[in-house]
Amino acid sequence: METTVALFSQAALCEAAGIDHETANNWIKRGLLERTAVGGRKMRGRRLFSMLEIYKARLMREMTRFLAIPPSHCAEIASRAIAEFVKTEKLIRIDDDHEPTLAIALVVRQRGKWVTDLRLGHSPLFSSMQTQQAETPLAILPISQAFITIHKQCAKFLRTTSESR
């Protein structure tokens, strides 16, 4: 499956990300979620989204729900964490049975900006020096687990679509 290709409807985005249509419309209007271009153009009538945009919506939902972070900040954090994760794991095209490396993103607010630090594998989260230097609260986002969940749901949507033809 291509992770950046427009394959999914807004209904699929809402179902996979666990958000309602009103929330999706709000985030789209505010530019926090973007429709994926088809053939270099964004379609006017039907909104289509890539798997990565659905993944972003899911992370945004988790942060607004559990951390009470405003959606605009969530979009910034999710975009940064996803970009780093996709680059590190080379997740442009993935097979249905592909499982990425365990990854979490440490998120902290420093000097008025959100900082994300992607941690891969099973190494310790913090060194003792980092723990002592932490001055502000932080959040830990389950990047790889959220990706696996969204990937499975998107693969299911594609199988259901191809079977109904």
Q: In tens digits, what is the pLDDT along the chain, a chain of 165 residues? A: 677 777 889 999 999 999 999 999 999 999 999 988 776 666 666 788 988 999 999 999 999 998 888 999 999 999 988 888 888 777 666 666 667 778 888 888 777 788 888 887 766 665 545 544 556 667 788 888 888 888 888 888 888 876 665
CB 12 within 8 A of CB 158: no
Q: Alpha helix (H) ranges present in 6-50?
A: 10-17, 21-29
pTM (global) more than 0.85:
no
Three-state DSSP string of 62-79: HHHHHHCCCHHHHHHHHH
132 bridge partner residues: none
Tens digit of pLDDT for each residue in 98-146?
A: 677 788 888 887 777 888 888 877 666 655 455 445 566 677 888 888 8
| Neighbouring residues of 16: CB distance < 8 A, sequence distance ≥ 6 | 8, 54, 57, 58, 150, 153, 154, 157
> What's the confidence (pLDDT) of residue 159?
82
What distance in Å separates the CA atoms of residue 140 and residue 7, rounded to the nearest whole number? 30
